Amino acid sequence: MNAQKLHKQLLVKPGRPVVLDKLDPSHTFGWEKTDAVAKRLVENTARIAELQLRLFAENKRALLIILQGMDASGKDGTVRHVMSGLNPASCQVTSFKVPTDEEIRHDYLWRVHHVVPARGEIGVFNRSHYEDVLVVRVRQLVPKEIWKRRYDQINDFEQMLTENGVTILKFFLHIDKAEQRDRLRARLVDPAKNWKITRSDLDVRRQWEAYQRAYDEALSRCSTKWAPWFVVPANKKWFRNLAVSEIVRAKLEELHPQFPKPLFDLTKIRIV
Ligand code: AMP
Ligand code: MG
């Protein structure tokens, strides 16, 4: 397995424009769905859990994982698969919905900042402040003069977080319109999935192109050295899970969290 290569292949290089239409959502970079890949995924989950414990014990730094993508792109599935080994005591998943009355009365980062993971924690955002340059832009929920300033504001906000011990990884789960059609249809026919279908899914699907262009700009302008975006081909769920888990694992290994040294001489202690 060459995690470093995958990292490089999926990374949006800072300053390099992204055109999603040119990126194949079914691409697997030569990987195949083999037993070895399934085994690797299990290993990654276990390794991520081990490193989570160290991060928690070290109690100095945090990891924030941001998931974005169109409806049915697999944000929930990614949380379920890749984060399945995590201890919920030091991991928090936050799903960002239509802002509440109270949230909308504040600036758009207000609801985000106070759920950023604390030292020792891993936080996962299912949608995020990026909605404020995506749905807000496409549906013109605020004037253009307001949202167009947000790209820089988001970069500054994320830089401030990283300078204060929060490592940020951002994943865009890239599916195409045909894959979304199949997944939405499955939600219509499967009683266990009916609850996932909303009217807004259908409106959003109609505005597919506008969303893709909004994503192009968000990914192009907000992939930074301190908070990179990765475009993950997500038509194939196994590849999506593999890619996200490889990158999360590699980042945690790079952080190399350490158990703190005991504060006193343990050899002098007798437990009676
Ligand atoms: P889901 O992810 O399917 O639970 O849907 C959440 C919905 O909330 C999506 O339709 C998002 O576009 C919407 N949403 C999230 N954040 C915002 C925001 N800041 N402004 C407006 N709508 C939002
Ligand atoms: Mg939805």
What does the alpha-carbon distance between residue 223 and residue 118 come to, in Å, rounded to a whole number? Answer: 23
pLDDT digits (tens, 9 = 90+) for 32-43: 999 999 999 999
Predicted local distance difference test score (pLDDT) of residue 84 = 87
DSSP class of residue 162 equals: H
What does the alpha-carbon distance between residue 225 and residue 256 come to, in Å, rounded to a whole number? Answer: 19
Predicted local distance difference test score (pLDDT) of residue 2 = 73
What does the alpha-carbon distance between residue 137 and residue 153 come to, in Å, rounded to a whole number? Answer: 15
First to last CA, the chain: 49
Distance 98 CA to ligand 1 centre (A): 4
pLDDT digits (tens, 9 = 90+) for 82-117: 888 899 999 999 999 999 999 999 999 999 999 999
CB 1 within 8 A of CB 43: no
Which atom of ligand 1 lies nearest, measured to the CA of 75?
2
19 within ligand 1 shell (Cβ under 6 A): no
Give the Cβ contact number of residue 6 at 10 Å: 20
Which atom of ligand 1 lies nearest, measured to the CA of 200?
10
- Listed in order, strand segments (DSSP E) in 61-106 are 62-69, 91-95
Predicted local distance difference test score (pLDDT) of residue 82 = 85
230 within ligand 1 shell (Cβ under 6 A): no
How sure is the predictor about 56, in pLDDT bands with cuts at 50, 70 and 90?
very high
Predicted local distance difference test score (pLDDT) of residue 182 = 97
Does the pLDDT of residue 3 top 80, yes or no?
no
- Give the distance, in angstroms, between the CA of residue 252 and the centroid of all CA atoms in the same chain: 15
Q: For the structural domain made of 3-268, what CATH number should be given?
A: 3.40.50.300
* Token representation of residue 1: 């397995």
Instruction: Kindly tell me the burial class for residue 67, based on how many C-beta atoms sit within 10 Å of its own C-beta (0-12, 13-18, 19 or more).
Output: buried
Distance 96 CA to ligand 1 centre (A): 6
Predicted local distance difference test score (pLDDT) of residue 83 = 85
184 within ligand 1 shell (Cβ under 6 A): no
* Token representation of residue 88: 């919920």
127 within ligand 1 shell (Cβ under 6 A): yes
Taking CA atoms only, the protein residue closest to ligand 1 atom 9 is 97
pLDDT digits (tens, 9 = 90+) for 138-173: 999 999 999 999 999 999 999 999 999 999 999 999
CB 48 within 8 A of CB 86: yes
Distance 77 CA to ligand 1 centre (A): 17
Distance 265 CA to ligand 1 centre (A): 52
What does the alpha-carbon distance between residue 173 and residue 235 come to, in Å, rounded to a whole number? Answer: 9
Does the pLDDT of residue 4 top 90, yes or no?
no
Single pTM value for the model: 0.97
pLDDT digits (tens, 9 = 90+) for 188-234: 999 999 999 988 899 999 999 999 999 999 999 999 999 999 999 99
Predicted local distance difference test score (pLDDT) of residue 1 = 60
Distance 209 CA to ligand 1 centre (A): 18
pLDDT digits (tens, 9 = 90+) for 64-87: 999 999 999 999 999 998 888 899
196 within ligand 1 shell (Cβ under 6 A): no
* Token representation of residue 152: 């820089």
Percent of all residues in the chain with a pLDDT value above 70, rounded to a whole number? 100
Under 8 Å CB-to-CB from 251, ≥6 apart: which residues? 63, 167, 169
Which atom of ligand 1 lies nearest, measured to the CA of 139?
21
Please state the φ and ψ torsions of residue 257, each to the nearest 5 degrees: -65, 145
Q: Which of 67, 78, 98, 128 to mutate to test the pocket of ligand 1 (most atoms within 8 A of CB)?
A: 98
96 within ligand 1 shell (Cβ under 6 A): yes
31 within ligand 1 shell (Cβ under 6 A): no
- The residues whose Cβ lies within 5 A of ligand 2, an ion, are 71
125 within ligand 1 shell (Cβ under 6 A): no
What does the alpha-carbon distance between residue 8 and residue 246 come to, in Å, rounded to a whole number? Answer: 12
